[in-house]
Amino acid sequence: MTRTNTSYAISHRGVVRQLNEDSFAEISSHNLWVVADGMGGHEAGDYASQLVVDAIRAKVLNYTYEELTVDHIVSAVKKANYDLKQYSHYHLGGKIAGSTIVILFIKNDEFFVVWAGDSRAYLLRDGDFTQISSDHSQVNELVAQGVISKSEMGSHPLSNVITRAVGVADDINIDVIKREVRSEDMFLLCSDGLTGELSDQEICSMLDGQSVIDTGLALMHSSLVRGAKDNVTCIVVVYNGVDKPVMDDEFDSLSEKTVPLFGRQLNRLP
């Protein structure tokens, strides 16, 4: 048996970092995928990203797929923001523990991207590769203002400064995009560890519409070969034109065994 919508997730701490502060979730029963990137340089980044992912998963699974709406997902992110602020207050002495978030949700012939921060969502459709999300970062604002060019973003001294994240402020401003979804659309969700090593053109060249596993492995391998200075996480999703998802326990167990052991690595809470 094959999945109605095929996905593959892979995460790695990278070559330099000692700890993986990225987390992800594939909630295939609800056509929902999540990537979270704990804020580097702050306290408990790995805990922050996992808390955000767990909060979203718990909220989503309170509803059936038929009941679930994008408003529920936005509410889950806001709940995660509150929970993370509370954790920072009571366990970190007020120090900030934050995480970016990017979510893909597919329902009723539409897809939704929900995000805060600079983890990205891309779409490959009919050979056209585009970034759906827009980075909430200092350098992206400078590009929008015409102060610097897009090619200067990676080398700019403010390249690691993000302007939105879960757990940083009492209120979080979350962006949502809704568009029509088409059969054979390929989506990529990723942390900035991937885009920090590979250009959009390089990423596009590795997208293989025939195999999400091959695509995920190629992206990860290329980022590691480049030196992967940050944690790297990506989820590749192909929409096969059937809106009703197959439940996780209905998947062919043999097909699951083809996934490498590190392909579904999740951070563990301390």
pLDDT at 185 over 70: yes
Model-wide pTM > 0.75 = yes
The CA distance from 249 to 161, in Å, is: 41
Per-residue pLDDT tens digits for 64-109: 999 999 999 999 999 999 999 999 888 888 788 899 999 999 999 9
pLDDT (mean) for 12-30: 93
The CATH number given to 5-264 is 3.60.40.10
The confidence score (pLDDT) of residue 265 equals 36
What residue spans define the domains of the chain?
A: 5-264
The CA distance from 121 to 115, in Å, is: 9
Name which residue leads in pLDDT, 140 or 126: 126
pLDDT at 266 over 80: no
Sequence letter at residue 80: A
Six token digits for residue 175:
């962006």
At 40, the pLDDT band (50, 70, 90 cuts) reads low
The confidence score (pLDDT) of residue 270 equals 34
Pairing of strands 175-180, 110-116: antiparallel
- The distance in angstroms from the start CA to the end CA of the chain is 37
pLDDT (mean) for 28-55: 88
Name which residue leads in pLDDT, 78 or 150: 78
- Single out the residue of 203, 188, 201, 190 nearest to residue 118, CA to CA: 190
Q: Which of 22-26, 37-41, 238-242 is the least confident region? A: 37-41
Burial 161-191 (b: 16+ CB within 10 A, else e): ebbbbbbbeeebebeeeeeebeeebbbbbbb
Name which residue leads in pLDDT, 148 or 178: 178
At 31, the pLDDT band (50, 70, 90 cuts) reads very high
pLDDT, mean over the chain: 84
pLDDT at 269 over 50: no
The CA distance from 23 to 268, in Å, is: 9
In terms of Cβ atoms closer than 10 Å to its own Cβ (0-12, 13-18, 19+), residue 254 is exposed
Which runs of E-coded beta strand occur in 86-151?
A: 99-107, 110-116, 120-125, 128-131
Pairing of strands 5-12, 232-239: antiparallel
At 43, the pLDDT band (50, 70, 90 cuts) reads low
Contact 15, 249 (CB under 8 A): no
Per-residue pLDDT tens digits for 105-124: 999 999 999 999 999 999 99
pLDDT at 262 over 50: no
pLDDT at 202 over 80: yes
Name which residue leads in pLDDT, 62 or 244: 62
- How remote is the C-alpha of 79 from its chain's centroid? 18
At 268, the pLDDT band (50, 70, 90 cuts) reads very low
Q: For residues 93, 36, 50 and 179, what is the CA-based torsion angle, rounded to 10 degrees?
A: 120
- How remote is the C-alpha of 209 from its chain's centroid? 19
The CA distance from 36 to 38, in Å, is: 7
The confidence score (pLDDT) of residue 155 equals 59
The confidence score (pLDDT) of residue 246 equals 58
